[in-house]
Structure 1
Amino acid sequence: MQNRIAIIAGGAVALLLFLLVNAAFIVDERKRALVLQFGQVVREPIEAPGLYFKVPFIQNVSFYEDRILPLETNSLEVTPLDDRRLVVDAFARWRIVDTIRFRQAVFDEAAAVQRLGSILTAALREVLGSVTSDAVLSDQRALLMERIRDATRLNARELGVEIVDVRLRRTDLPQQNLQATFERMQAEREREAADERARGAEAAQRVRANADRQAIELVSEAQRESNIIRGEADAQRNAIFAEAFGQDPEFFSFFRSMQAYEAALGGGRSSMVMSPDSEFFNYLKDERGASRERQR
């Protein structure tokens, strides 16, 4: 009798433990939970971590991420307003904010990633197709990412999801367009270099012309001043000669003759064909000849 009671008690305890194990569940701080009964949500979403209970065998629990999740996209070709195609690589960060709506819309995270990828791709094409490629590649890129995030966030709200952020990781030209773009850029740089060289040559020519003009002006001014000084010196010399001639005409004539001899015969190899009786040789004759010349 006692053995039967012990067996029954043990079975009851085991059943109770089994029911307790199937009734209890733990919600991790990284998760949120929905309690389902025959596929229908019967309780409010559980977002706080802790130990919870459900009706065993009748109810079950589905867990969903409560963390911010990544959304990676494949490289996408977009066509901006200027028809220069760009290869865009973007990514987003998202999280579940309405668990019940999320389950009803996409059921699980794998399906959500596919839906969100389509929404992000559509937003990328819409926003980047409304601007030029220069805007995509310039400092306006941050504003464009905000526009893409807002458009994606608006459409993702129906899935019970919030788009936290959207980033453009890479925006490049397609491979087949790179060579043409490089050649066009090279031609533009060569044209700019030619313009710079032309402007430099023009500036150099102006500098040279200005320098030549200043040199001519300086030389002309120096020649004018030298001519003035030379003229003044000649005037002073003539005045001195005139004064000397007035004081002693004989000495002045002798001095001038000596200067003429020096100028005419100073080279050492000079040859002159003149009459011996020429006045040029008056001071080279002897005293008697000079006296006779004076008597004549």
Structure 2
Amino acid sequence: MLDDSVAYVDGPWRHRTIGAAGARFHVAELGDGPLVLFLHGFPQFWWAWRAQLTAVADAGYRAVAADLRGYGASDKPPRGYDLITLAQDAAGLVRALGAADAVVVGHGVGGLVGWTAAVHHPDRVRALAAVAAPHPSRMGRTLVSMGPGARHLLRAQLPVLPEHRLLADGCVRVGDLLREWSGPGWPDEETEKRYRLAFSIPKVSHCSLEYHRWIFRSRWRLDGARYNARMRRPVRVPVLQLHGTEDRACPPHGARASQGMVAGPYRWKGIPGAGHFPHEERPEEVSRALVEWLGGVAAVER
């Protein structure tokens, strides 16, 4: 097992530890201007946004990528892996970074956090870009598909065994998941090694699976019923959905149904040939789409 120093990847960004919502979060920050907050997905950490950090900063924004609760060099408490608490984390980070609000960009579970924050903390979310992330109310379509994402979610419900499987043989399963969920030709050897090392940090395997356990089990619990009722409120901020056309983990047709939950300006952008990680599989195309969209939403008076 390694310590969390492997999350401090060198680059043009600055690493900081930020206190927010009663926890400490590791962030990588680059640029000046309106705040754009990036939230990674599974099985990754802040480094997933390295291409977008530089592109967005070069375009005149303050780009900040955070390690979510339980990942990378952020705190790994025993509780708090429900989407409501995670949305509080995101809203708290916005304030702790000294901004009134931010454009939130989230991938996978980070996108679910973004959708939740847009409903629960609308004053903190100026706009939302959801990458490979359907609205939580449309997640059922992904489960019904019984694709690799749904199968992983179901297997994660077992106690202990999924954690051991992720950690076995130097976290080789993490690399398997990246290849299984992506389009052909990704990840390269260096990228796979980076994510496998990050998953070797103590507690990350368990904490990451706690997200998936809450997402699934809350469907039959009172806290989940309250969450679902609240999430039926329409999202009123501008939304961009970026989605790989070859995403088998979260099929595009189910994700696109999220438009019905958006009352604000909405845009869908398919990324041809990309799977579940379009921001890494096709980084230049995703960065271009994001920067173009930001020009219309990041500096508009609310």
Q: So what's the TM-score if we normalise by structure 2?
A: 0.19
Which structure shows the bigger proportion of residues in helix conformation?
Answer: 1
Larger radius of gyration: 1
Q: So what's the TM-score if we normalise by structure 1?
A: 0.19
Which structure would you say has the larger RCO, counting Cα contacts within 8 Å and 6 or more residues apart? 2
